[in-house]
Structure 1
Amino acid sequence: MDKEWSEKNKEVQSLLSKEKTYTEAIEKLIAFREEMFQQITWIVEGYPEEAFYQMPFANAKGYHSKTLAYSIWHIFRIEDIVAHEMIAEDEQILFKDGYTKKIGSPIITTGNELVGEEIAEFSKKLNIQELYLYAKAVKDVGDQILKNLQYKDLKKKFTDETKAKLIKSGCVSEDENAFWLIDYWCGKDIKGLIQMPFSRHWIMHIEAMRRIKDKLCLIARKGVDPTAICGLSCNHCFLSEWCGGCRTNYNVCSFATCSEGRICPNVKCCNEKNIDGCYECSELENCQKGFYVPTNDGANAAKAQALYIRKYGKKEFLKVQDRLHEKFEFQKTQEILGQNYKKGLKILEDT
């Protein structure tokens, strides 16, 4: 488990155990859930459609053996079922807001019954944007349910009637890999449910999603030119664990994700000019497109590096980047080079 997340979870669970710190526990848990959900947002906003049904760890033992799409579905189906069938005793978000049809899912269950290629095939059928909206709706309503709970509610247990209700809902498959969930949930009180579906369950599966996306990025970058089109080095970028680079479909640079069609203006311009990168463009010094927009604090640094590539070539550029990053972290390097692109070029030449 991620060390930082593990510590946050331990703190929440400790605070949850005492009435005088209960409100603080809920506040911290909701903030923690927001932090974890941001990871899902970045993945959904940053990765291409095919990323969500790939299984780079298909034969592994663990949650990372699934897909990104399955992981999102599984996390939020479980919370939706538990939150509404058991705690709030009202209608699930999946049915209330018509997400079954919007998402295009062939199942309404948690997905525990799916194995191997079934997971990939299931994932291909899902509308990822609608799945994300469903996940966010479940999270937001779940946060509100948490806020509405009182300390005295934590000891509430569940009866055979609840178990019968869950079975009747059809939201848990009768397959042996799934049906155990009903006994598991009903064997807990509300505090126990908060500890698992509402917190630790998120941690386990979102960590698995991070492992999946890391692997997908490594695969995408294999054999691909690590020199970014604008002049940065993908080998040294702080986004390296998230981004496949602007020469792949796994480009999560902000100038890609915020642009129309998720295509960085620099990439679009170079493609139109049929050149390899901005360093081959005669208009580079005066360019204010994309990464070079004056309001971007990394503009001068990128331009200095592009000019270095133009003058000395990519091979030498990557070598000087290695030397720079032996001394400084990415952000510090960008700060040093970014005061003025001409001075930045001189610093690179002297490194």
Structure 2
Amino acid sequence: MTDPIQNTRILLASRPDGEPTADNFRIEHVPVPEPAEGEVLLRTIYLSLDPYMRGRMNDAKSYAAPVELGAVMEGGTVAEVVESRDPSLVPGDIVLSHLGWQAYGVLPAGQVRKLDPSRAPVSTAVGVLGMPGFTAYAGLLEIGRPQPGETVVVAAAAGPVGSAVGQIARIKGARAVGIAGGAQKVAWLEELGFDVALDHRSPTFKDDLKAAVPDGIDVYFENVGGHVWDAVLPRLNTYARVPVCGLVAHYNDTELPPGPDRAPRLMQTILTKSLTVRGFIQNEFVKTHYKAFQADAAGWIADGSLRHKEDIVQGLENAPEAFFGMLKGKNFGKLLVQVGDDPTR
């Protein structure tokens, strides 16, 4: 009798206090589950690592429930159907799924979406053609609403969301200013066609930003916070729009930052400049914008006006360390963990 195939999975072992550590995770090996009627057994090819996962590690009220202690860390995945008990899918199909940090998993067939490997590399389903790309598209176009000739500034601009924001802004006729960390990322933004690329680590960053936006900022796509936001706020024009999709600089905070209370200054600026500051979660726009996003993004990729970069880490066991690095801005492009072989490459 042969031993059952083992599934490797990474569980949330404890909740972090500040920066997460390896002790917050536990790797275990269990038998691969069997699908019931209407379900499929999936083998993970790519696991997407994204900043929102840090918030799910906390036991705090948010827009989504936290990961329970002892549960598999959550995450979007591209997977191959190994066994199917639903007529809509067959073994060998490649699907977009939400298996989390594990090598195998079972899901109802209705909870996965079949991918067409001939349309684009399947990894893009969790990148430029997936949640990050859609976050950029919906947040920028629905909330930011850039007009031709306006100035759009985006932080973490070398990441999967920020790079798409800047390129879409350019497609729409706006001027794109990207902010990233380090010379290599700044050079990449210049290669992508950003009008200006700035290094937030530079000691002259505030002055550099001021020089880059002589007519002020009309749209600031916020996904970082911290000292970048402090530099941007005084440069916002009257009626500027600020879509807020993340605050990665603060995800590991355990208390309020030191210094004076800055809320009055912020509220006064919002009032006197008639700013629109709007937080959003990308799934609130799925029904109204996702179909258009898929068509537009595919066309832009095909004609070369929307480019992307992937940062692929090999091996599920390396997911925690890659995740820690992402929270510090060490990744360069869309961060993926290749968990298993990709039969489409």
- Give the shorter-chain TM-score range: under 0.3
**Bigger helix fraction:** 1
Name the larger-Rg structure: 1
Of structures 1 and 2, the one with the larger relative CO (CA 8 A, separation 6+) is 2
Normalized against structure 1, the TM-score is what? 0.21
